[in-house]
Amino acid sequence: MRSRPVLAAAAVAVAAGGLLVGLYTPAAQAAGACTVDYTVNQWSSGFTADVKLTNTGPAVTSWALTWNFAGDQRVSSGWNAQVAQSGRTVTASSQGWNGPLATGASASFGFQATFSGTNATPTDFALNGVSCSGDAPPSTPPSSTPSSTPPSTPPSTPPTSNPPPPTGCSGASCDDFENQAAGAPGGNWAVTYPDCQGAGTATVDKSVAHSGTTSLRVNGAAGYCNHVFVRNAAILGAAGNVVHVRYWVRHTTALPTAHITMVALRDANDGNRDLRFGGQNGALQWNRGSDDATLPEQSPNGVAQSRPLPTGSWNCVEFKVDGTNGTMETWLNGTSVPGLLQDGVPTHDIDGQWLNRTYRPALTDLKLGWESYGEGADTLWYDDVAVGSSRHGC
């Protein structure tokens, strides 16, 4: 049982689970250049946006999508596009691998931003200078590359490398669960109840999925010892000493103040105790089962350098655990999370507790599920799990 006190939640989800969805479509009577699906996951002072751009005009070899914010929104980082802001104008430009768009083809990207007051959905999107609403293009369309400068205040800890292009789910160390029948997980996946069994359940779900038609569904119950996981003891086999894991997760309820675990990995070098990834004080955290150390530290400043896990939409989670030197890094939707970066150099409020002893993990399994230590119930879906010696991408 955990005895460490907990703090007030570091982030508060907005009403209705913190999910705002905006769909911008050109007027029926006009021939627009594009349609844009703009989906927002919002908390008290910031948000992430997932943007799907569909080209409804002639084919292009590269693209630049522009829009204007109505309020004081400020972009801090982006993924799968070069995202820059000048004043209220934002330009998201294609990268080399996702530039070509045939008529009817789509590209997806995302960004993280801060705001205060209201956070209205933009409505004036334009593709390569041509309005998506069908308005007449300007006499000299702008270049497909952004002319604006990046934000004057970049993220406090940017990603250490740009996200690689998405490669789908293929190979022996990637599982999208499409070969599973509804009901009890099978194959290399098996339901397990570490320590004790409570009210939690785990099944193969054929109605909700990130890709295809199938995912793992976990019904996580509140109360101490409601532990349920789906374990795979084979999927880490080819990763070696440096383990990269990528998975997509969707859940219904904001992370609680009390500690919970969503992913656990057995560590053969730490008495077969688990390295645990979950949350506390409303934000994501790592926890070491052998000594209860956390990353980040659970001070107000430490928690503020982590991130909540947005509800109501699919989120891409990636992490790296390097057994040769004990370092770790975690990305949420393509962006490195400062509070979940352990680079071997003590950083106040982040990894001072984690580095109180030599740590060289040897991970032997992967468990996806839910483990509560008090309050907190949640329903989660996991899909497109990939493991390897390098980043797989979102």
Residue 129 pLDDT: 87
Show the tokens assigned to 142: 């702008």
Residue 7 pLDDT: 40
Residue carrying the six token digits 């802001």: 85
Mean pLDDT lowest among 27-36, 93-102, 144-153, 192-201: 144-153
Q: What is the distance between the alpha carbons of residues 8 and 3, in angstroms, rounded to a whole number?
A: 16
The predicted model gives 95-107 an average pLDDT of 85
pLDDT at position 196 over 60: yes
pLDDT at position 301 over 50: yes
pLDDT in tens, 306-321: 999 999 999 999 999 9
pLDDT in tens, 158-175: 333 334 434 456 555 789
pLDDT in tens, 265-276: 999 999 999 999
The Cβ-side half-sphere exposure at 158, using a 13 Å CA radius, reads 13
Pair 94, 81: CB distance under 8 Å: yes
Residue 110 pLDDT: 84
Burial category of 367 from C-beta neighbours within 10 Å (exposed 0-12, middle 13-18, buried 19 and up)? buried
DSSP string, 180-206: PPSBS--TTEEEE-SS-B-S-EEEEES
Mean pLDDT lowest among 15-19, 28-32, 255-259: 15-19
Residue 225 pLDDT: 75
Query: Residue 139: pLDDT band by 50, 70, 90 thresholds?
Result: very low
Residue 238 pLDDT: 66
pLDDT in tens, 58-84: 899 899 999 999 998 989 877 788 888
DSSP string, 67-100: EE-SS--EEEEEESSEEEEETTEEEEE--GGG--
CA angle 185, 189, 192 (to 5 degrees): 85
CA dihedral 373→310→81→154, nearest 10 degrees, is -80
Q: What is the distance between the alpha carbons of residues 365 and 352, in angstroms, rounded to a whole number?
A: 27
Burial category of 245 from C-beta neighbours within 10 Å (exposed 0-12, middle 13-18, buried 19 and up)? buried
- Across 70-95, b (16+ Cβ under 10 Å) vs e yields eeebbbbbbbbbbbbbeeeebbbbbb
pLDDT at position 121 over 80: yes
Domains annotated for the chain, with CATH where assigned, are: 16-131 (2.60.40.290), 174-388 (2.60.120.200)
Q: Among positive and negative, which fits the CA dihedral 390, 392, 219, 108?
A: positive
pLDDT in tens, 206-255: 999 999 999 999 998 887 777 899 999 999 876 788 999 999 999 999 99
Residue 314 pLDDT: 95
Burial category of 121 from C-beta neighbours within 10 Å (exposed 0-12, middle 13-18, buried 19 and up)? middle
pLDDT in tens, 49-62: 989 999 998 899 89
Query: Residue 31: pLDDT band by 50, 70, 90 thresholds?
Result: low
pLDDT at position 375 over 70: yes
Residue 112 pLDDT: 81
Which is more confident, 156 or 333? 333
pLDDT at position 96 over 50: yes
Peptide linkage before 165 cis (omega within 30 of 0): no
pLDDT at position 22 over 70: no
